[in-house]
């Protein structure tokens, strides 16, 4: 598991528009909210994405970019964004490599069946590329507001 004050694991993956997005795109300029969710267009994931979208302008005013990550394809992400008019980028970690690097690909038990799935988790990465906060196993409802409060409390030098 990753912890506060660690250097954020590097990544470069495609977004909903088939464009490469890398951690280095933001280093030195923006804070990042990198949030991992199980699947596009499912109830909890839709709540989370919509709430991040509703607060996007406030995050932007705090020099913060929101990136959602799942193992869905770029096309699935594009459809999800269009359906709900989302104002955030979604990254397609189809290989699962990014999920592995951030420690969110986990075994889970549901109705007696054990399987692998993305543990809903969020990482706040400051402008220097350092993990400012880690939240594993989050609940979607109200999470975006909680993350916004944490961003507001980042040291001003970050």
Q: Which residues have a catalytic role annotated?
A: 45
CB neighbours of residue 17 within 10 Å = 12
Quick check: helix, strand or coil at residue 22?
strand
Percent helix, percent strand, percent coil in the chain, to nearest 5? 30, 30, 40
Residues 6 or more apart whose Cβ sits within 8 Å of residue 58: 148
Q: DSSP assignment of 45-95, as one string? A: HHHHHHHHHHTHHHHHHTTEEEEEEESS-HHHHHHHHHHHT--SEEEE-TT
Continuous segment of H or E residues that includes residue 43 = helix 43-54
Residue among 123, 111, 116 at smallest CA distance from 1: 123
What is the rounded CA–CA span in Å between residue 27 and residue 13?
16
């Amino acid at each position: 598991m990753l912890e506060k004050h660690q250097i954020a694991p590097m990544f470069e993956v495609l977004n909903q528009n088939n464009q490469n997005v890398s951690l280095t795109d933001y280093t030195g300029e923006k804070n990042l909210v990198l949030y991992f969710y199980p699947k596009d267009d499912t109830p909890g994931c839709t709540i989370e994405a919509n709430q991040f979208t509703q607060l996007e302008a406030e995050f932007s005013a705090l020099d913060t970019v929101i990136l959602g990550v799942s193992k869905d394809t770029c096309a699935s992400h594009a459809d999800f964004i269009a359906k709900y008019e989302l104002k955030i980028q979604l990254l397609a970690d189809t290989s699962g490599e990014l999920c592995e690097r951030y420690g969110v690909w986990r075994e889970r038990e549901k109705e007696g069946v054990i399987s692998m799935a993305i543990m809903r988790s969020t990482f706040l990465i400051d402008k220097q590329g350092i993990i400012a906060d880690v939240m594993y196993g989050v609940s979607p409802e109200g999470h975006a507001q909680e993350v916004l409060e944490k961003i507001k409390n980042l040291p001003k030098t970050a």
